[in-house]
Amino acid sequence: MEFEKLERSAKNIRKNLLKAICEAGSGHPGGSLSAVEILTYLYFCEMKVDEKNPLWDGRDRFVLSKGHAAPVLYATLGERGFFAIDEIMSLRKIGGNFQGHPCRDKVPGVEMSTGSLGQGFSVAVGMALADKLDGKDNKTFVLLGDGELQEGIVWEAAMAANHYGLKNLTAVVDWNGLQIDGKNDDVMTVKPVDEKFRAFGWDTVVIDGHSFRAIQSGFDFAQKSGKPVAIVAKTHKGNGVSFMKDNAGWHGKAPNREELQQAVLEIEGE
């Protein structure tokens, strides 16, 4: 399999997103690192996109509903060649294009401006509905955080996706178990995630969100389903960096230069 190539891309994405956050002095490393494999697989294996023509009519769409993970989206788009990766080092800087949360007008490949949780999922449902209405076979993918599932609009959107039979829509839940104030289970219980989506008429599959093989099987399952599919990806917040892993404290804190150096060494040494 070509997973070796994907592993290499994932390492680059990890390093680059951490560099950008370090350079910015603020940002969200934890929830970016937990989604690296998911985005890598989407942009290098699953989705039809053209980095030379980001608005190509035949493209699949990806909406980062957990918009605070902007660094992983920017690093992935850069790795895929939508722009030079160095550009993302202007992350969160005034006058720059790489906003703290994604803005579709500013960065090629960003389909939707997000940041307010739950908002992107609802928009993704509308995009999938438009494709269905037009008889197109394009697909829409959306990444949600687990804490994000506490937003009411998520379930309004989930209900609508089932009602309108949007089998062209795949949601991935980055289930790292942590949110700003601590564990989901302590803040506001969201589990059982897969049962909730099933109750809303979706097909679901639970996978290891850091294994490319598992991610592949998840998207293969989604391809074959006749319903909207929720891929519940078990992940670790801060994955790939020992001192960030499973630590809610790294939800929204930038590494300093020393920490970045250590993180990069760990990622390269993996």
Partner 1 sequence: MNKKMATREAYGKTLVKLGAEMRELVVMDADLSGSTKTGEFKKIYPDRFFNAGIAEQNLYGMAAGLSLSGKTVCASTFAMFATGRAFEIIRNSIGYTKANVKVCATHAGITVGEDGASHQTFEDLALMRTIPGMVVVNPSDGNSASILLEQVIKMKGPAYVRLGRAGVPMVYDEDEPLKIGKATLLKEGRDVTIIATGIMVNEALMAEKELNAEGISIRIIDMHTIKPLDEEAIIKASRETKGIVTAEEHSIIGGLGSAVCEVTADMAPCKVVRVGQMDTYGESGAPEELKKKYGMTKDYIIDAVKKVLN
Residue 115 sits in the site that holds partner 1 (CB under 8 A): yes
Instruction: Return the closest-CA partner of residue 248 out of 18, 73, 34.
Output: 34
Closest CB to partner 1 among 100 and 115?
115
* Of residues 42 and 157, the one with the C-beta less far from partner 1: 157
Distance CA 135, CA 139 (A): 12
Question: Which of 37, 46, 79, 131 forms a contact with partner 1 (CB under 8 A)?
Answer: 131
Helix 152-163 / helix 119-133 crossing angle, nearest 10 deg: 10
Tell the smallest beta-carbon distance from residue 123 to partner 1 (Å). 4
What CA–CA distance (Å, rounded) separates 210 from 187? Answer: 25
d(CA 225, CA 120): 23
Q: Residue 152 interacts with partner 1 (CB under 8 A)?
A: yes
Q: Residue 179 in contact with residue 146, Cβ under 8 Å?
A: yes
Taking the complex as a whole, how short is the minimal distance between the CB of residue 234 and partner 1, in angstroms? 27
For CA atoms 188, 194, 195, 198, the dihedral sign is positive
Q: Which of 39, 157, 231, 264 binds partner 1 (CB under 8 A)?
A: 157
CA–CA separation, 22 and 38 (whole Å): 22
- Note whether 64 and 42 are within 8 A (CB): no
What is the closest distance, in whole angstroms, from the C-beta atom of residue 126 to partner 1 in the complex? 2
Options 124, 144, 172, 178; binder of partner 1; rule CB under 8 A: 124
Determine which residue in the list 17, 129, 171, 230 makes contact with partner 1, applying CB under 8 A: 129
Does 137 sit near partner 1 (CB under 8 A)?
no
Binding site for partner 1 (CB under 8 A): 103-105, 111-113, 115-116, 118-119, 121-131, 133-134, 152-153, 156-157, 159-160, 163-164
